[in-house]
Amino acid sequence: MASGREILHKMKEKVQEKVGLGSTAESGKGKSTASKNIKHGYHLVEGKSLHPMEDYVVAEFKHVGDSELGLFAIFDGHLSQVIPDYLKSHLFDNILNEPDFWIEPENAIRKGYRITDQDILEKAVDLGQGGSTAVTAILINGQKLVIVNVDDSRAVICKNGEAKQLSVDHEPTTEKESIENRGGFVSNFPGDVARVDGQLAVARAFGDKSLKEHLSSEPDVTVEIIDDDTELLILASDGLWKVMTNQEAVDAIRNVKDAWSAAKLLTDEAVMRNSTDDISCIVVTFYSGIGFSNNVQAHFVMHILSYQKLSHT
């Protein structure tokens, strides 16, 4: 029979899968049906700014024919809740509707990004001002991971304990030449962050129609193969990365078995480090043990078996 503490813990973990408005924290978790070792969890915390929560997430496993797709995304809105919510509802559909997705997924994802941004711009009267950054991850049959991002929401993978950034941070300072070539400028006033045309602190984004001629929405795409060394993947908005390095984030959760608990730990740590922005985090785990990759587990088991064999001789 479960103890009172265990029951309470289960109640805390039984969180809603839906992310909506009106609360300061949202969470969810799930697992692959094709591989018992692949699980995900997410947690979001509203920041201390005066605006409502503008982070939205997608985290689900979806069967398409004989294949399974892990669909994960973080959309970090600015001056808008509507546009990140629109991305949550439409971006993956647009990508998967591309006829060449299964043949050339990277190209299909790029096309899906472009089509979605065009739709947002065409619907600007209804969707309003503002825009959103994005980082998406598509896990194909648990083997191939395609990471795509626009601006500074980030994807970091851990293999054998080493953090590896799979996304590319797009900052106004690093994108200055491209912005100027489009006819814009980057301001960098004392006491303020760098801004495109003195207004926007992001260099690439969906939406932002008023600044679009100076602002790119072209994503960066990275492909990573999931192997026995792969332990976990973190997707998070800049509310986390402003206060934690990639390696710090990985080190903090390597020994946390539950993916949701790992995501919540990272958001809690960011709050403890005085992050004031909205914080959203998705963790995908690829191992069944606690803090061990498959290779390390195998080595550990072999060591125990060898010890047992020697002890009986």
Q: Answer yes or no: is 97 within a domain.
A: yes
Q: Answer yes or no: is 23 within a domain.
A: no
Cα–Cα distances in angstroms (integers) from residue 54 to residues 118, 159, 194, 239, 282, in the given order: 21, 31, 21, 12, 16
Q: Answer yes or no: is 134 within a domain.
A: yes
Q: Answer yes or no: is 17 within a domain.
A: no
Report the domain count for the chain.
1
Query: Looking at residue 216, what is its pLDDT?
Result: 82
Q: What is the pTM of this model?
A: 0.81
Cα–Cα distances in angstroms (integers) from residue 56 to residues 90, 209, 260, in the given order: 13, 20, 16
Q: Answer yes or no: is 186 within a domain.
A: yes
* Selected residue with higher pLDDT from 97 and 10: 97
Kindly indicate the confidence band of residue 229, based on its pLDDT and cuts at 50, 70 and 90. Answer: very high
- Domain assignment of residue 276, given as a range: 29-311
The CATH number linked to 129 is: 3.60.40.10
Q: Answer yes or no: is 254 within a domain.
A: yes
Q: Answer yes or no: is 9 within a domain.
A: no
Q: Comparing 1-10, 28-37, 132-141, 174-183, which segment has the lowest mean pLDDT? A: 1-10
CA distance 295 to 308: 20
pLDDT of 16 > 90? The answer is no
Label residue 236 exposed, middle or buried (CB < 10 Å: 0-12, 13-18, 19+): buried
CA distance 30 to 297: 23
Q: Answer yes or no: is 212 within a domain.
A: yes
Residues 105-122, mean pLDDT to the nearest whole number = 95
